[in-house]
Amino acid sequence: MKPISEDEARALGVEAIHHEMDNGERRFRLVSSDGSSYSRTEASGASGWQNSHYHQGVTELYVVQKGWIAYAELSAGGELTISLLQQGDTVTVRPYTHHNVYMSAFAVTHVVKYGDGTDKGTDKADWVPSPALDLRTKPVTESELLHKFNST
């Protein structure tokens, strides 16, 4: 087996990109030029909502490795559904589905994005904000999530 250097991988359209988000989450990503990617997200000691969004050509598979998350989805008719996902749970998010995730403290998730995630002719990622869903999810507290949406 021959190792592939970062420069060789980049020349083949694959790049490792890592960030610490403003909310303290750490994101470790492996991103392809076709818009597909893998991401490991590690929540900080502070829990909270991410930013609501949807994708036009990408399907996402969320896997909860540690802790729990809340998954919120806004239907085309404007109906909000929120479910709690525990360690080992998964959810698949189809294109044009407005969604948001609440990461509990120290939760770890894996997200696989696949499909056509490129904006034709640009390097722009397939990520479109959903302010309408942010208005509905950001006010929901952890206490409300645990008491209203916990089915266990």
Would you write out the chain's pLDDT as a tens digit for each of its 152 residues? Answer: 999 999 999 999 999 999 999 989 999 999 999 889 999 999 999 999 999 999 999 999 999 999 999 999 999 999 999 999 999 999 999 999 999 999 999 999 999 999 987 665 455 678 999 999 999 999 999 999 999 887 65
> In the chain, which residue ranges form alpha helices assigned H by DSSP?
6-11, 131-137, 142-148
**Partners of residue 10 on adjacent β-strands:** none
Q: Do the Cβ atoms of 68 and 107 come closer than 8 Å? A: yes
Domain spanning 13-148: CATH superfamily: Jelly Rolls (2.60.120.10)
Q: What is the CA radius of gyration of the chain?
A: 16
For the chain, what are the domain ranges?
13-148
